[in-house]
Each structure stands twice: as C-alpha cells, then as structure tokens.
Amino acid sequence: MIKKLSSTLVLLFLVSFPAFYAQDRIIIDIGIDTTKWAPVAYLSLIPDFNHLNTISNSQIILQSGISKSGYYEFSTEYLPEEEHLYRLHFSKQGDSPASLIIGGRNHNHFFLFARRNSTVKVRVSQGQKLVNNIIYKGYKTNLYIPYLNDRIESVDSIDRMGNNVNREYALETVYNDIKAFADTSSYPLLSLYALYNTDYENDYDLDPGFYRRFLRKWRSDKSLYFKEFRKSLRGERNTVWVPILLFILLSGIIILIFFLFNNRKKEEKKNPLTELTIQERKTLELMKQGMSNQEIADEFSVSISTVKSHVNSIYSKLGIKSRKEILNLDD
Amino acid sequence: MKISVCLIVLLLAVNFNSFGQEYIKLEKSEILPLDHSNKIETWLIKVSDEYNYFKVKIQGQVHKGDILVELVDPDGELKRDFTLKAGSAAKEGIDLGEKGYVAGEMEKSYRNPKTGNWFVRVTYNPESNAKLKIYNLLIYNPRTNLIELEQIEKDTDEHIYGQL
C-alpha cells in the first residue's frame, strides 16, 4: 500500500515538476529605501521602443504593494500572450504615481520582458540607490538585460568622466559592443532593445548592410516593435533613395519607349512589303506564281494597263527591276 | 639671487592659489506656464571653456496635454529626452491617487563638456497645461575629483533642487 502511494507521489512529482519549471518565472532583486520611495511598484506596458522614455496614466497596467514576504508580485494572466517589454517604476513619497526619472541617483525604473502568465516577483531589500545591482532570475530573455544595462550605463559614465578627445572613441566602442550583442542574440526583442540603445539611425547610413541582415534574420517577427523599427529605417531610406529610384525608373521607361518606337520604325523600313497596297500584294502573289500581266488581268477582271501600273509600282517600291528578282524575295 | 628666490616663491604662491581655485555657477529657470503662442520653446545654456563640469537637470509636470522635453548639445545631437502624456484615464484597478498629473525628470552630467550653446527644447500641444524647471550647474575646478563631485552634486540635490 505504502509502496503504491509513494510510487504515485513520485509519478505526480515527475509530471508536475517540468510543468512548474516550464512556467516563466521572473524574479528581480532590487534595493529600495522605503522612507524615500512610496511602497508601491507600477508596471507599464511599452508598446514600442520609441516609447522607452514616455510616461502616461494609460501605460500603467498593474500595480503592487509589498507582500508580507517582502515581494512585489504581479498577476499576469491578463498580459498579452506574446512577449512584450514592460517598465517597472517607483515614485517618490508624495509625488505623483505616474512619474519617470531618467538618470542620476534617483533613476526610478527598469525594464523587463514578460508574457501572459509569467510570474513577476520583485524582491525588495534596503539600498542606497533604488535601481542598483538588479539581478534577474528565471525568464531567459531577461538574463541578458544586466549585461546590456552595464553598457548602456557606461555611455553616461563616459560623458561624466571622459574628455572630448577620448569620448567619441569610447562611445563608438560601447555602441559596437551593443551592436555585436544584437547581431548574435537569439532573442529578437532583446536584440532590438539593444539596438535602440545605440545611435542606430546615424549608424544605418554608415553600415546599412548590417541592418538589412538584421531585419532579414527576424523577418518572421511581425510585432509592433519590429514594425516601428522597419518604419524608422524605411523613413531614412525613403528620404535618400526614393527620388533617385524614381528618377532611374522614369529615365528607364523613357529610354525603353524611345527604343521601341525607333525599332518599330526601323522594322517597318526594313520590310518594304508593308508599303504595298492590297491590290499590289495580290498582284505580287500572282507574279510569284509565274503568271503574265494578261493572266493577272484576267484573274482580277481588270484591264492589262491597270496590271502594268501595279507591276511598275511594285518594282519601284521594292527596288527591283525584273520578275526574276521577285522570285528571290522573302515573304 | 634674492630677487629670483622671491620670484619663485611668488610663482609658487600663484600656482598653489590657482590649484585651489573653484567656482560654481548654478542657474535655475522656472517656466510656468508655457507660452501657448508657440508649439516649441527652447532655453539656451551657454557653456564656455572655463568650465570643466556641467550638469543639467529638468523637472516637468503635466496636468493636461503632452510635452516632449529634449536636451541637445552644441552640435545639434540629442542627448536625452522624455515625453509626458497627461489626460488619459488610468486602467481599471490602478489607483494613481489624487495628484492627477504626470511627472518626469531627467539629468545628465559631463566632465569637460562640449563648449557652445546647449539647449533644452520643449515641444507641446496648445492645450497643454504644464510646468517645468531647468537647473544647470557649471563648475570650474581642475582639481575636483569624482568623490568631490559626488559631494557637490549631493549638496545641490538636497539643498537647492526640490520637487516642483
């Protein structure tokens, strides 16, 4: 009996274990001074990467207070099914909940990727800086965010500490690092998020091949994130290439029409038979058959002088002088 | 001999004095309300080569409409931006309190900043009801190290900056 029960339990465990771990679990550790910050966290859906630095009331889709176990937890059963980018932010005590602070010691938000039924848990500890040393666990796409954040933050550090001589070189190195990450990442949204943190619009002019390859790699991704990215690059291309392409296309059409018209004229000139009248053509046919002028006159019931006139006209139009030459003519 | 010693002492004194030289220029602009005859407003911040540290901080509050705030360097390159959109209703179940406005803040600092005219550009729609504060801190002290800078920033944050 006990043996049966234990084997059932083991079976149940084996069945439920993979299901439990297949769930997207997102656990983030942050440091927060609750004397300075309101004890509520807000989760906003970022519809596309152009809105990374935008805040509005309608963007905020979930909120959470700290649970007894020291977590902010979000119920995510109503999130979109596909993976999206979310922003989690805190507001200062007494400030509006819809507030966004970018840069400096009070930088009040961070980003994460999630989808429907992802378990989003934020573990709170006391810290000097709100968004400092965030550790992502679980959901794979998020595991690379700290790597990217390090590089994104280093852009600020370069500005804060560098000088004009080495700043440009250092920035280029960081952007190349981020670009290489985007190139090799197997997570489409994460790689796109990486590119949005470079000066990709300027870089597109220098290295359009990279962006064409990148978009080819993720051509199956029809999300708004990629749609907006394609649009922004197309916009760049439009401004430069569309007038040039239109000019080339129009010139091509004009040249084509000119050649067609010219060829047709030449063809018509090449074939003098087309200049003959119907009566002359009929006469020519009978001449080819070896009929005399009289026979042709009889065949058409016309006078011999009319036939002679046709024959003279044929000779002049075809540039020939005898009936022998008529026999050598091509149809 | 005496004269040259005096000269050396004098030179050293001048030198040491210049090492200790430090000046801080802090400007605060309050923009309230926005001039609705325009759709874009810009504020210039002149950064001359005498300063080796520059920090700008912009705080905004929007009660109605939306605004885009951008920081642009002397070469016309966008360095940082944020957009605040007010007026849209919060989702069901979200308690955004009684404040009702949307707030934003951004800051950026540079050691050896590009010299010339930096500017803050604000783009808004005519219905916008918003207020803005722009602070810029310029420091000249070639000797200031990062720890000292952190302290200066902390002091200005705590004593001069405030909520809108």
Q: What is the CATH number of the domain that holds B126?
A: 2.60.120.1540
Report H helices in B36-125: none
Residue type at B50 in one-letter notation: E
Residues of chain A contacting B82 with CB distance shorter than 8 Å: 53-55, 100, 102
B102 strand-pairing partners:
B62
- Note the pLDDT of residue A11: 54
- Note the pLDDT of residue A183: 95
Among A202, A205, A228, A210, which residue's Cα sits nearest to residue A85? A228
- Note the pLDDT of residue A304: 86
3-state SS, residue A239: helix
Which chain B residues in 30-89 lie under 8 Å from chain A, judged by CB atoms? Answer: 57, 61, 66, 80-89
Which of these ranges, A23-37, B18-32, B60-74, has the smallest mean pLDDT? Answer: B18-32
Residues of chain B contacting A103 with CB distance shorter than 8 Å: 80, 106-108
* Interface ipTM: 0.80
Q: Cα(B101)–Cα(A99) distance, rounded to whole angstroms?
A: 9
- CATH topology (fold) of A272-327: Arc Repressor Mutant, subunit A (1.10.10)
Indicate whether this model's pTM tops 0.90. no
Contact A54 B82 (CB under 8 A): yes
Average of pLDDT values for B35-54? 82
What mean pLDDT is reported for chain B?
77
Residues of chain A contacting B118 with CB distance shorter than 8 Å: none
List, as own/partner pairs, every contact residues B140-146 make where C-beta atoms lie below 8 angstroms and the sequence separation is at least 24, other chains included.
B140/B21, B140/B22, B140/B23, B140/B24, B140/B50, B140/B51, B140/B52, B140/B53, B141/B21, B141/B22, B141/B23, B141/B52, B141/B53, B142/B19, B142/B52, B143/B19, B143/B20, B143/B22, B144/B22, B144/B52, B144/B53, B146/A161
Query: Residue B2 domain-assigned?
Result: no
Question: For chain A (length 331 residues), average pLDDT per consecutive 10?
Answer: 61 47 70 82 93 92 88 87 93 89 88 89 73 77 90 84 76 92 94 94 91 94 93 65 76 87 69 80 85 86 86 85 77 56
Q: Closest partner residue to B102 among A96, A106, A162, by Cβ? A: A96
pLDDT at B68 over 90: yes
Contact A98 B112 (CB under 8 A): no
Count of C-beta atoms within a 10 Å radius of residue A214? 20
- Domain that includes residue B150, residue range: 23-90+97-159
pLDDT at B161 over 70: no
Which chain A residues in 277-306 lie under 8 Å from chain B, judged by CB atoms? Answer: none
3-state SS, residue A64: strand
Q: Chain A within 8 Å of B102 (Cβ-Cβ)?
A: yes
Q: Count of CB contacts below 8 A, A vs B? A: 110
Residues of chain B contacting A131 with CB distance shorter than 8 Å: none
Query: Residue B36 domain-assigned?
Result: yes
Contact B103 A95 (CB under 8 A): yes
- Note the pLDDT of residue B144: 66
Smallest Cα distance from A119 to chain B, Å: 19
- Note the pLDDT of residue A229: 94
Q: Closest partner residue to B89 among A58, A156, A162, by Cβ? A: A58
Please name the residue of chain B whose CA is at the shortest distance from the CA of residue A43: B94
Smallest Cα distance from A108 to chain B, Å: 10
Please name the residue of chain A whose CA is at the shortest distance from the CA of residue B106: A102
Sort residue B97 into left (φ over 0), alpha (ψ -120 to 50) or beta. left
Residues of chain A contacting B57 with CB distance shorter than 8 Å: 104
Query: Residue B5 domain-assigned?
Result: no
3-state SS, residue B56: strand
Q: Cα(B149)–Cα(B54) distance, rounded to whole angstroms?
A: 11
Backbone angles phi, psi at B52, to 5 degrees: -115, 5
- Note the pLDDT of residue A15: 46
Among A211, A221, A210, A213, which residue's Cα sits nearest to residue A188? A221
Q: Chain B within 8 Å of A101 (Cβ-Cβ)?
A: yes
Smallest Cα distance from A266 to chain B, Å: 60
Query: Residue B138 domain-assigned?
Result: yes
Smallest Cα distance from B146 to chain A, Å: 8
